[in-house]
Each structure stands twice: as structure tokens, then as C-alpha cells.
Amino acid sequence: MSEHPQCKYPEFKKCDANAMCEFLAARITGNGGGGRGFHAICTADLNAPPGGPVTFQGVAFKTKAEDNGLMLNFCPFCGGKPGQMAQPKEPSSPAEDVQTQPGKDTVETT
Ligand SMILES: [Zn+2]
């Protein structure tokens, strides 16, 4: 029986827009291809040269190879938000909803 591991971890970064924590990173099984597990989803700028910077979009969990995967809104291990897609959206100004015209009823009584 091995020794009980020290209940002490080095200081580590939580998942954020650009990186994932070591707990999640250690459990990544693929990059979108392959089967069940956590997949790191990154996109590259198509105008950039090969090997250029990539954007960390997030982590998806797939149940099987045919599954498209579901992006994590937060990391189950550290509680952080991994990747760009998990970041809180800027409160956008109220969308210009379909304008109903309340003053213009189409009731025509003759
Ligand atoms: Zn994490």
C-alpha cells in the first residue's frame, strides 16, 4: 500500500478564458476527435501561418465518438470557467425586439 499522498497541492491557477487548471488538463482525452471524455476545443486563425496562435474555446464532454460534445460552462474540478465560450457574456443592450405596433390594431369594425 502506497503512502497517503500529501493533502497539499502547489498553488495552481483555476480555469480561465485562456487556460485550464491542471486537474482538468490532466483529464483531457482528445481535441474533438475520439470518443468519450473531455476534449479541449481550440480554433486557429485561418489567416495566421501554420503553428500560429490558437484560441482556447473551451472543453467539451463527449459520451461517445459520434457525440458532438457539450461545452462545459464551468470546470467540475476547480469551478473556473474554461475557455472563451464559457466566459460571461457582456450584458448586451436589449435586442431590438420585433416591434409590435400596439397603437395600430387591425380591428376594423364597420
Ligand atoms: Zn478547472
Q: Beta 28-30 vs 70-71: how paired, if at all?
A: unpaired
Q: Please tell me the distance between residue 50's alpha carbon and the centre of ligand 1 in angstroms.
A: 28
Q: Please tell me the distance between residue 85's alpha carbon and the centre of ligand 1 in angstroms.
A: 14
Dist. CA 62–CA 34, nearest whole Å: 9
Q: Please tell me the distance between residue 35's alpha carbon and the centre of ligand 1 in angstroms.
A: 21
pTM of the model: 0.69
**Who contacts 30 (Cβ-Cβ below 8 Å, separation ≥6)?**
37, 39, 40, 62
Looking at residue 84, the DSSP 8-state letter turns out to be G
Residue 103, CA distances (Å) to 99, 106, 109 in order: 11, 9, 16
Query: How much is the pLDDT for 1?
Result: 47
Q: Please tell me the distance between residue 51's alpha carbon and the centre of ligand 1 in angstroms.
A: 26
Answer for the pair 72, 28: CB distance below 8 angstroms, yes or no. no
Query: How much is the pLDDT for 91?
Result: 75
Written as tens digits, the pLDDT of the chain (110 aa) is 455 556 665 677 899 999 999 999 999 999 998 999 999 999 988 888 888 888 999 999 999 999 999 999 999 999 999 999 999 887 776 665 555 556 656 566 56
Q: Please tell me the distance between residue 13's alpha carbon and the centre of ligand 1 in angstroms.
A: 8
Residue 43 grid cell: 480554433
- What 3-state DSSP class applies to 85? helix
Q: Please tell me the distance between residue 28's alpha carbon and the centre of ligand 1 in angstroms.
A: 11
**Helices marked H in the chain:** 22-25
